[in-house]
Structure 1
Amino acid sequence: MTKLLLTLHVLAAILAVGPVAVAASMFGPAARRAAESPDDVRARSTVGLLHRICRVYAGVGIAVPVLGLATAGVMGVMGDAWVIASLVLTMLAAAALIVFVLPGQERLVEGGGGGGEGVAAATGRLAMTTGIFNVLWVAVTVLMIVRPGSTTGA
């Protein structure tokens, strides 16, 4: 059961978090291109598509911590520091996505930002929060691999 849960957890992380990380990173430059060419339907649709990918896969991403908790429970490592740290970092990443990244994208999709300089500032803030989201997931990934203090034989 442990191997199955761990496999599902890793697959969920790759298939759910990966697309969000990539699409969110691509969003800012795409939004700037769309703002520079307001008549470019393709540029606007790209921005909408990237935001939709982030929204949908963020929902699917709920499976990652759920499967992670199930795996940790079966492995008997729920109280280990690396699991607790991973959970905290996962919650921070989710908060960054829900509170900053997705609403920032939504404002730009809806045409907010107040022209060229406003879009540049908004995409700059969005790039920063997206970067924080991505760095948090890198830290979680490292903890999952290194498992400091683990007795499960990393």
Structure 2
Amino acid sequence: MKPLLALLASTAIATGPATALAATVPPPPQPSATAKTSYAPVTTSHLAAPRVRAVILTVASGEKAQPPERYALLSCTPSVGARLARAEACALLEKAKGDPANLQPSRDTYCPMMFSPVTVTATGIWDGRFVRFEHTFGNDCELRSTAGSLFDI
């Protein structure tokens, strides 16, 4: 799990804050009193860092999150050729504002009353906020009803 957290941290560091980029842009030259040339002010809006949206997802059978059976890094920054499953998972997190705790179970799904616990976690950064989510569902059906394809890893 520690290598995944290091990977997540390096993703956030690589995108970096926009202020570091803005500091490297020199100010426009000041025109002399006799010069008739005018300079437009420098704007740094085009230097804004991309939104960091990266989450480590884990799935474990049972009521404990450790050790996870499956895990994956979900990066929701814009990219070309995104897989459909990744796009669906990112859309679910977008709807939940980055926090899976905001997802609601589907009212159209009826799950069996069978206890086979599944524990999932989501840890990462979403638009500059740290996200930490852990929940134990009664079975896979309850997980799918609430989180959709988010934890299909």
TM over 0.5, yes or no? no
Structure richer in strand, relative to its length: 2
Q: Which structure has the bigger radius of gyration?
A: 2
Q: Which has the higher helix share?
A: 1
